Amino acid sequence: MRLLAKSAVVAATSGALLATFGTGPATAAALYSEDYSAYTTDVGYMEGKVVFYNRSVTITGTVKSHTTGCATASFQIRRGTDEWYQEDRTACGRGPGSSKGFSFTLEWDTAGTANYVHARLLNNDRNIVNSDQVFFGG
């Protein structure tokens, strides 16, 4: 028996199947993803993507302020019926530098994913001015 190098790529005799070994840790496959967005002309906007995985959810995007105050992208994430999580990202001021990119992941120790994300755009007083909803599986 001959051992292959860790980075070797092995082709099946039919040539149709390829397998790669030793390329690093396995990456979890996304179960579902969907874009979200919320806009107002006076406060600003937020937009991005929610990706659901087994045991986690990743939210990426941008929030931009159109005011001298702040615009906040606020996320309420529900897992199951009684687990709720809250994450906020804020951008302040007008002009260059008034937008903020972000990416964060919430992870769990047990199987399953989040089933709902409520993406809310908040003004400087933390009032909801617009929102979007993403449900696992659409």
Distance CA 39, CA 36 (A): 11
pTM of the model: 0.76
Distance CA 18, CA 37 (A): 39
Select from 2.60.40, 1.10.1060, 3.40.50, 2.40.10 the CATH code of 28-135.
Answer: 2.60.40
Distance CA 18, CA 6 (A): 14
95 burial (CB, 10 Å; 0-12 / 13-18 / 19+) is: exposed
> Largest Cα–Cα distance of the chain, in whole Å?
70
Note down pLDDT in tens along the chain; length 138 residues: 333 333 333 333 333 333 333 333 445 789 999 999 999 988 999 999 999 999 899 999 999 999 888 999 999 999 888 889 999 999 998 876 689 999 999 998 888 888 999 999 999 999 999 999 999 976
The domain locations on the chain are: 28-135
